[in-house]
Amino acid sequence: MCAFAPASAQPALQVNLAAIFVSLELSRSAWLVTSLSPGGGEKMSKHSVRGGDVVGLLDQFAKLRTTAEARTGKVFPIIVIQEAGLDGFWIHRVLEREGIESHVVDAASILTSRRRRRAKTDRIDGEALLRTLLAYKRGEPRVCSMVRAPSAEEEDRRRLCRERKTLVAEQVEHVSRIKGMLFAQGIHGYEPLHRDRRQQLKELTTGDGRPLPAHLEAQIGRELDRLELLLQQIKAVEAERDDLLAPVSSAAPAPVAALAKLKGIGPEFAAVLWLECFFRSFDNRRQVAAYAGLAPTPWQSGSVQHEQGLSKTGNPRLRTMMVQLAWLWLRNQPTSELSLWFRERVARAGGRGKKRAIVALARKLLVALWKLASHGVIIKGAVMKAA
């Protein structure tokens, strides 16, 4: 028999459904609703709802429930799954508010065909998403990774740190652009972030002794206008962040104050740790490292066994910040147990492997900070800020 011959047809499902299972394929123009209801045999039904029409979606759910009740004489709950994407979590919140069990899944965690060319349509994806939900509700391990949807307040709070990061990146672009234009004229040492930047601009001369060209000076002036606006916005965002982290604020928990007291951790690091990570609850250190994408990825098959490096499946903002914080930790906490471990490991390797060791330090430091914030465990050898 040919190895690629299709197998005999098998029933799609051989279980007694206790609920109406629904998957949503979301797009701007239309939402594809794929459902599997009790009493409907093995067939998955598909319906289309106009994109953004929540009332139409709820009406479709009501029709599914009415049809299942007419077939079986029972009323069944509805369980919905959707992929995390551009639509965010507002649909998930609407469904939960209506008493519907809703799940948001990480799309990258769903198993797919490994063929080089595989068929992909909204109908196929909707069916695959529905089968994933069924396997997840049956309790099958490692079927997918469900996303923990933050509350509306949690989602809104973490905009502060993310907006500041965006503004700082734009600030760096403007500063680099100004310095690049001046460098092309033989001018060095001009700092656009200094307070007397406009006075310095008037006094600049080119490398060959000419005054600054008029059009170039006007262009740099407009760049400085945008830069000064960015500086004002960064100050406003930082003021909102500081108010959120202030001890008198009811929104800032005690663990945040404990993090900010450590030498080397400023208000921005403390805010990112809280808003991006420690607002969640974790059961163990492995979950903390996995959430930051700092967990290792093993590869084992037969006698072959090696590590593939970091998983990088977690929060990229948290992971980047933890690597930066690890370098600062070595400078500001040289006598801590973690810093001594890093130096001993690097010395054992003859001074090589600092990049790998710093990532390992970032993982250990994140776990130690989580223990401090959640259980009050003091980091050995850590120095607190002076009062």
User: pLDDT at position 9, please?
Assistant: 44
Residues 194-221 have pLDDT tens digits of 999 999 999 999 999 999 999 999 999 9
Give the separation between CA 291 and CA 318, rounded to whole angstroms: 9
Residues 297-306 have pLDDT tens digits of 888 888 888 8
3-state secondary structure of 10: coil
Give the separation between CA 263 and CA 335, rounded to whole angstroms: 12
User: pLDDT at position 12, please?
Assistant: 46
Contact criterion met (CB below 8 Å) for 182 and 201: no
Residues recorded for the chain: 387
User: pLDDT at position 5, please?
Assistant: 43
Give the separation between CA 82 and CA 55, rounded to whole angstroms: 17
User: pLDDT at position 247, please?
Assistant: 59
Q: Which residues of the chain have pLDDT under 50?
A: 1-14, 248-252
User: pLDDT at position 179, please?
Assistant: 96
User: pLDDT at position 387, please?
Assistant: 65
Tell me the whole-structure pTM to 2 decimals: 0.81
User: pLDDT at position 280, please?
Assistant: 87
User: pLDDT at position 253, please?
Assistant: 54
User: pLDDT at position 242, please?
Assistant: 87
